[in-house]
Amino acid sequence: MKTYPRYSVQPFSLWTDKTRSKDIEGSTPCAICGRPVKDDNQKATWVTVVNGGDDWAKNEYEANNVNDDGFMGGWPVGPDCHKKYLIKQEA
């Protein structure tokens, strides 16, 4: 069963005008802080944002339910934010 990363902050909750002012061609904003993440960054973790930006997809159904009005698609989480905000799952 695939595990879906969970974070201690909501999607887009740390975006600021300062971080968003750095749009770089060939990048997508980090789903947590808004800093550009190069689209070819192998260290980025891609997640699906749901509930109109209020939550992270918890399962395969949410991650693929493109017909849900709150589905916002895939977003990268940069390696710094991933390390800092990831909720460690108990095995």
For residue 77, the surrounding DSSP H or E stretch is: strand 73-77
Q: What are phi and psi of 18, to 5 degrees?
A: -65, -45
Tell me, what's the pLDDT at 57? Answer: 96
Q: pLDDT 10s per residue in the chain (91 long)? A: 678 899 999 999 999 887 776 677 889 999 999 999 998 888 899 999 999 999 999 999 999 999 999 999 999 999 999 999 999 876 5
- pTM comes to 0.87
Contact criterion met (CB below 8 Å) for 84 and 32: no
Chain-centre distance for alpha carbon 57: 10
- Rounded Cα distance, 30 and 13, in Å: 11
| Cβ neighbours of 70 (radius 10 Å) | 13
Domain regions of the chain by residue span: 17-85
> How far, in Å, are 15, 36, 45, 54 from residue 19 at the CA level?
7, 8, 19, 20
